[in-house]
Structure 1
Amino acid sequence: MTRIFCYISLLSSILLSVAAMAQNKPTATKPDSLHKTIKADTTHKMVADTAKKLIVPHIDSSWYIPGGIRVGLDLSRIVSAIYYPYRKEVTVVADARINSNLYAAFEGGFTSTPYSDTSYTYKGSGAFVTLGVDYNFLKRQYPSEKNMFYTGIRYGFSHFSYEVPSYTIKNTYWGDHLTGSLPKTNVNAHWIELVVGLKAEIFKNFFMGWNLRERILINNVKTDEMTPLVIPGFGNGSKGAVFDVQYTVSYVIPFYRIKEHTPKVEVKQKKIPKR
């Protein structure tokens, strides 16, 4: 009897254990929870992909500005001929646009200096050329504006000749005169010019302007016999530095354009906070 009771107790314990294990079986994941988990991971990936697309290396915009060669005349030589009748000079001025504010500058001309008085007769003539650059400091109001406020530097070269066909030296004490002549002399002159000026567009492609310049002679052109009266393109031959003023009229031949770029703007990548 006792043995039967033990068997029944053992069998009851086994059944109760099986029932407890069945009740503790893991619950299946709900479809909503699984969908939420997948959705959260996908959203994070989409944010990362979008951030990569927002990385822009730079923004580069460009447009064209008018270029061309500007050619004109120096009208101040007409005025100087009134005060110095012996100085007959024609000067052509020109520049060519290199980029937004930089211009290559050129001048050239011819000078003739016939002079005579009671003491001597002088004849001189020659050609000159200057080469340099101008930089425009005037901020443009619109891309096609061509007005200029500029400074520049030039190198000048002149090849000329002069002679004194006759001269007379009067001796007031003895009352006699010494006459003679000086042969033709060929001379090269070199100088540097510093320029500041303004050019304004009065009509389409037509400009008027003025500039101030200081010329500094590099080499000595004086001789023991005679100092040249005028150095073509420079001025007074007896001075080492001269100040001059120019008034110019010019016209631009716009046969080319220059591409201009805006400065590159770097866009920094935004950091995505770690989760």
Structure 2
Amino acid sequence: MSKFITSIFLLLIGSTAIAQDSLFVETAAIDTVQVQKASDSTVYKQRYGLRLGIDLSKPLRSFLEDDYRGLELLADFRISHNVYIAGAIGNEEKTRQEDNYNFTTSGSYLKIGLDWNTYENWYGMENIINLGFRVGASSFSQTLNSYQIYNTNQYWNEIESGISGEDMLGERSGLNAQWAEIVLGMKVELVRNIFLGASVRLNYLINNSESSNFPNLFIPGFNKVTDGSKFGVGYNYSISYLIPIFKANKPQKKKEDTQEETEDN
């Protein structure tokens, strides 16, 4: 009887040891998986700072077109993971020749608004595909350089007689306009802190103060004004530099992790 009890006791001790060894192996495996997951979900510190840039399209147009001069400086500041305060300040001078008149518009403008980054970057990337909104204001002058009265019935032979509406010629100053615009754009980081960007804009004219005897046909910052419509369009190509001010932790998935999730689904 004592031998039987001793055998049972030894059997229980052996089973307990095996169970403890198994539990230790399982615990170690779980710890290894947790460490691996922690390693896989590396936290990338996102950069927050001021990005300054220039619209490349305006200097290019100034070089290629004799009747245009323009410069626009851009800036944005990141206030959250996907939201940026954005703005621009610029100056434009445009001379246009139409069938019966020639005019020059010159002035400055300011735009300010928000951009929302819709692009979910892979690990280590900070590219932007943004949807934005701006409010713009412009102060400018308009000079009518020449004006030819149009008359289908040249009874007095006006053109050869030099009747040209000279009383309308001259500068009209103190003009201003305000508008809203929707922006769709992108910025790609070429090298560290340097971004190349492009955007298209749909503008809506809210207010437009003009002289009583000649309309505003071009507004700096807004672009061409179409007769009978308050809508306008614009575009830009930019290069900018990010001045990092601080960093904030933001988990980002690695490219291979995203591919694995796609395969699993």
TM-score, normalised with respect to structure 2 = 0.66
User: Match of 1:76?
Assistant: 57
- Cα distance in 2 for residues equivalent to 1:148 and 1:156: 22
2:206 matches 1:218: yes
Q: Is the Cα–Cα contact under 8 Å of residues 190 and 218 in structure 1 kept in the other structure?
A: yes
Bigger helix share = 2
User: Match of 1:188?
Assistant: 176
Unaligned runs of 5+ in 1: 1-60, 263-275
- Cα distance in 2 for residues equivalent to 1:261 and 1:75: 32
Of the three residues 232, 235, 238, the one matched with 1:242 is: 232
User: Match of 2:132?
Assistant: 152
Shift of 1:126: 0.7
- Cα distance in 2 for residues equivalent to 1:114 and 1:203: 38
Q: 1:200 to 1:226 in 2, by over 3 A?
A: same
Q: Is the Cα–Cα contact under 8 Å of residues 100 and 260 in structure 1 kept in the other structure?
A: no
- Cα distance in 2 for residues equivalent to 1:178 and 1:259: 66
Shift of 1:62: 8.2
Runs (4+) of structure 1 moved beyond 6 Å?
Answer: none
Shift of 1:170: 5.8
- Cα distance in 2 for residues equivalent to 1:118 and 1:195: 33
Q: Is the Cα–Cα contact under 8 Å of residues 62 and 259 in structure 1 kept in the other structure?
A: no
SS class of match (2:58): helix
Shift of 1:233: 0.3
Shift of 1:123: 2.9
Shift of 1:237: 2.8
2:248 matches 1:259: yes
- List aligned pairs for 1:1-275, cutoff 5 A: 64-78=45-59, 80-81=61-62, 85-115=66-96, 119-142=100-123, 144-169=124-149, 172-176=154-158, 177-180=163-166, 181-238=169-226, 239-254=229-244, 256-260=245-249
User: Match of 2:11?
Assistant: none
Q: Is the Cα–Cα contact under 8 Å of residues 155 and 192 in structure 1 kept in the other structure?
A: yes
TM-score, normalised with respect to structure 1 = 0.64
User: Match of 2:14?
Assistant: none
Give 1:75's aligned amino acid.
Answer: L
Which protein is bigger by CA-based radius of gyration? 1
User: Match of 2:28?
Assistant: none
Q: Identity over the aligned pairs, expressed in percent?
A: 30
SS class of match (2:92): strand
SS class of match (2:208): coil
